[in-house]
A and B are shown apart, each in its own frame.
Chain A
Amino acid sequence: MNKTTMLRAAGIGLAAMVAASGSALAQNTVKVAVPAFLSGPAAGPFGVPARNGAEMVIDAINNGKLPAPYDSKGFAGATIEVDFIDESGGNTKQVAEYRNLVQKRGMNVIIGYISSGSCAALAPVVDELKTLTVFAVCGTPRVFEEAKRQYVFRTMSHATADNVAAAHYVKDMFPDVKSYTGVNQNYAWGQDSWRDFDLSMQQLMPSTKASDKLQFPKIFAGQYGSEISALSLDKSDLIHSSFWDGDLEGFIFQATARGLFKQKKVVFTVGGTAAYRLGKKMPDGLILGARGPYGILVRDRKTALNEWFINTYKDRYGTYPSGPAYQYGQAVLATKIAYDKAAKAAGGFPSQDQVMAALKGLEFESFSTTVKMALGDGHQAVTENVYGITNWNADDAEPGVRDVKFYPAECIMPPAGATSEDWIKGGMKGAKC
């Protein structure tokens, strides 16, 4: 072996060592991007608690501080390197940002997204780029009902559950309701929400009648004076709204000042996010959902996981966790469970395919409820849902809820293989309530 050959061999050996060390590093860390609204009107009510929930759970996972049985460190032992990304700016920007995260920044997993618009736009791109992506909050049922997805998962129920449960709650608590109307934002989320609520009311309370003057203001419109007038003049005795973000809080302020909530019953399917933020300014008597068993509606649920979540969050951020905090924490937890399960089966650090196989059809105890990845060929979660009525707790000077009722997942979500619209129209066959 001459000198040149020796040098070449040494060079190749060095390169191989560097490559090997790189591979070892890749197994020591998992790069995770967490998109949420960090600016814009949705940041305060949704993006910030979502980010906080994810951050708190990721820190606990990295330090092995989650309650048992999730107290092992990291994703399959690998430390989570997290990058929080701003979801605002529209769908086109999100698609470009997603490509950037995967193709340039080499993210291993993306966990997050709040807006239904973001998820609807991203779902096909995720499968194109073949990177595990766990949708945390977005609600449109179309993500898994319009196409089969391979790399996309969603770890909470979709909007159908919110609206079918809302109709059940109205039937159970206010059987005298004769007619209803709606004020929903004019895009996929608002339209899907109204469709499911309206269809559910037709099935569950067939004697009721929907108004023909439905309000669909633009998202982030901010001013609802004319809409509130139209709702006040409408003869309906119940109003359905899936408003969220700053729109929800602005609407509540404006409608309170005009006495709308004294005149009509109003069901807010995402109202839970406003409860802690508005405090005493949140009117009593509103029918409140939180897109599932999260936030104020499960504050009294005494499980180790839930108590850990509430106490840790309150100590760290100075407020109770609202729905988005739970929902992002839940998405991170699901990913951890999938990594750990896949690692156990593989006998080492798992590949992405192994993690996805572990996540598919997974059933696990989350912080506040049981999650089953039961729909969308094992990619779409179902959970129970819950509604209550706002009731200021004067003793503790805290917002509270009364008449809380839970509805099992099998009662409010379509069975595997059925689309939401067809299932509701067909009389919700197979529902176990």
Chain B
Amino acid sequence: METAITILIDGLVFSSYLFLVSVGLTIIFGVMKILNVAHGSLYAWGAYTSAYLIGLWSDAGLGDGGTFLMIAVAAIVVGVILGLILERGLIQFMYARDEVITVLATFATFLILEDVILLVFGVNPYFAYQPMAYLDSVEIGGIQRDVYSLTLIAVAVVVGVSLWLGLTKTKWGKLLTAVIYDRELSIAMGINVTRVFIVTFVLGAVLGALGGAYVAPTVSVAPGFGVEVIVLSFAVVVIGGMGSIPGAIIGALTVGIARAIAVHQLPEVELFVVYGVMALVLVFRPEGLFAPAKARKI
């Protein structure tokens, strides 16, 4: 029983992390049909900025409770600034181009941003342990758990519910849905699609940065931080279906739980389990679990 509870909690924590880092990617793809490889850089910039601000806050002796504010500030500042720069400086020129060109352009951006991180933050890792230390640990299922990692589940739920409410219950969400279904018809109906694209991209960028900013206190924030996450994010959105938010939830849960089971029961296959699940899903549902197959307009 202890093992089952542990697997469930480990799976939920890791799923929450995966959902946070992949939902921005899937939103941008769903609305804009842009596969943003630079998403990993937004994650890394969020993490670095968060670690840096937490360090500043802590050094100023302002109390570790306030470091949570720094996480939010880092996510918003990085997401808005980098999101706007990327969308206005690069992505807007990609709308009429082939998707492969977009992937190459965002990949190039990813490499540039990785090097800019080295220039700005240097090669030494950043440690921002204060929020994790502030929340201490608790015993669940016979083992100690740091409360901070558990809060990741709550953050993921808040983000997921907010997105669902925003998309289904607000005027802005309806506009977004209209653009997702038919961009040309939306333009014909007077929707400012350019503005929708900008807002969507910035929202996706903030979510990517939030993933990094929230994870920063649990890891050593080091160069190359964004590489691993982009691979995992792609696996999650491919499993769930590109552009589908419920798909991102299910994809994250599938990968997270499968990985936790592997680590506890069959550690030898842990390395392959994420990609094994992805391959299995693609065999039976090439478009992913939640994306409906549809004909492409020419």
Contacts and interface: CB of A to CB of B under 8 A. Distances in A.
Interface of A: 38-41, 43-45, 47-48, 88, 186, 213-218, 220-223, 225-227, 229-230, 232-233, 245-247, 249-250, 253-254, 257-260, 263, 277-278, 281
Contacts of A215: 263, 267, 270
B143 A223 contact: no
A233 B10 CA distance: 13
B11 to A, nearest CB: 8
A283 B51 CA distance: 21
20 contacts: A39-B123, A39-B223, A41-B225, A43-B123, A186-B271, A217-B270, A220-B224, A220-B228, A222-B220, A226-B11, A226-B259, A226-B264, A253-B129, A253-B219, A257-B132, A259-B144, A260-B144, A277-B125, A281-B127, A281-B129
B137 A223 contact: no
A323 to B, nearest CB: 17
B238 interface: no
A258 B144 contact: yes
B127 A44 contact: no
A224 to B, nearest CB: 9
A229 B265 CA distance: 12
A249 B132 contact: no
Contact of A226 (B14, B146, B222, B268): B14
- B interface majority secondary structure: helix
B133 interface: yes
Interface in B241-296: 259-260, 263-264, 267-268, 270-271
Given A222-B219, A253-B127, 13 more contacts: A38-B123, A41-B223, A44-B124, A214-B267, A220-B228, A222-B228, A223-B218, A225-B13, A230-B263, A230-B264, A233-B143, A250-B220, A253-B132
A274 to B, nearest CB: 9
B186 interface: no
Interface residues of B, number: 43
Contacts of B13: 225
A233 B6 contact: yes
Given A216-B267, A216-B271, A258-B137, A45 B125 contact: yes
A40 B124 contact: no
Contacts of B9: 229
A425 to B, nearest CB: 22
A88 B224 contact: yes
B3 interface: yes
Contacts of B133: 257
Interface of B: 2-3, 6, 9-11, 13-14, 17, 118, 123-125, 127, 129, 132-133, 137, 142-146, 148-149, 215, 218-220, 222-225, 227-228, 259-260, 263-264, 267-268, 270-271
A287 to B, nearest CB: 21
Contacts of A259: 137, 144
A159 B219 CA distance: 26
B10 A226 contact: yes
Contacts of A40: 222-224
Contacts of B223: 39-41, 43
Among A41, A259, A278, chain B packs the most CB atoms within 10 A around the CB of A41
Nearest to A263: B144
B17 A223 contact: yes
A273 to B, nearest CB: 11
A277 B124 CA distance: 10
A214 B260 CA distance: 14
A256 to B, nearest CB: 8
A259 B137 CA distance: 8
Nearest to A228: B143
B260 to A, nearest CB: 5
B145 A47 contact: no
A268 B277 CA distance: 33
A230 B123 CA distance: 32
Given A225-B13, A246-B222, A253-B127, A258 B145 contact: yes
Nearest to A252: B220
Contact of B222 (A38, A41, A233, A254): A41
B118 A39 contact: yes
A258 B267 contact: no
Contacts of B125: 41, 44-45, 246, 249, 277
A230 B220 contact: no
B86 to A, nearest CB: 22
Given A88-B224, A250-B220, A254-B146, A47 B10 contact: no
Contact of B264 (A186, A213, A221, A247): A213
